[in-house]
Amino acid sequence: MQKKIAALEKQLQWEKLRADALDTLINVAEDKLNISIRKKVWKPTVREIKKAYSSVSLQTICRLLGYTPQAYHKHMSKTMRLHLQEGLVLQQIQQIRKHQPRCGGRKLFIELLPFFDQHNIKMGRDAFFDLLRRNKLLVRKLKRNVYTTMSKHHFRRYPNLAKDFTPLKAHELWVADITYIPTKHRHAYLFLITDAYSRKIVGFHLSDDMKVSSGIMALKKSTGTKAAGCHCDTP
């Protein structure tokens, strides 16, 4: 009997030392990381202990962690209210996105401010963006890099005869270039013929491709006066 008592006392001493070590570990972590670990994790800890030991009362578990059952119930009530409010906000976002699929987070937040006031929802911009991020509702940026000049190609490279040439009057030198215009579903390409002296656009053609024929169309549409030379940096 005495051996059993001694073994139990030894086990009790070990468990006490283990609890002190864990408590010290948390204190050191809080001091080094400058965060309140106990405050952040005690509520999930209560839930996990209750799942593992259903026979132990909630009051006992809370007191073991240094909190009251009232504090736990208050937190649960606040969490349920927050989930309800987030559900309402998500419904409003879906309604707006039906008509404006690419409505961004900032515009959504501004449009929902009257809704927040109406339903007494206190949600800042950062919390709103966190909600969008958790539900994968952030609008991805469209890739807008369109290259109209390609230097690495297999075509013949003609020498730049206009490199050191300075036009002294109109129509001595024209410059050809291509720019893109974003549309709803794709890009359109604008071929321009510009007079290097007057900076006047003497010809243009709008196309949905970058074929050579489109550039020739811009040249054909240029004004009646012909230039002495035309420079283009696109193949």
Over the stretch 181-194, which tens digit does the pLDDT of each residue have?
888 778 889 999 89
Bigger pLDDT: 163 vs 80 = 80
Query: What does the pLDDT average to over 165-178?
Result: 86
User: 209-223, pLDDT tens digit by residue?
Assistant: 888 888 888 888 886
Please count the other Cβ atoms lying within 10 Å of the Cβ belonging to residue 232: 17
CB 89 within 8 A of CB 105: no
Query: What does the pLDDT average to over 136-154?
Result: 71
How far is the C-alpha of 192 from the C-alpha of 220, rounded, in Å?
Answer: 11
Long-range contacts for 112-116 (Cβ within 8 Å, ≥24 apart)? 115/89
pLDDT, averaged across the chain? 83
pTM value? 0.47
CB 158 within 8 A of CB 192: no
State percent of the chain over pLDDT 70.
88
Quick one: tokens of 140? 């991805």
How far is the C-alpha of 47 from the C-alpha of 54, rounded, in Å?
Answer: 10
Q: What torsion, rounded to 10 degrees, do the Cα atoms 96, 102, 103, 104 define?
A: 140
How far is the C-alpha of 144 from the C-alpha of 159, rounded, in Å?
Answer: 31
User: 106-123, pLDDT tens digit by residue?
Assistant: 999 999 999 999 999 999
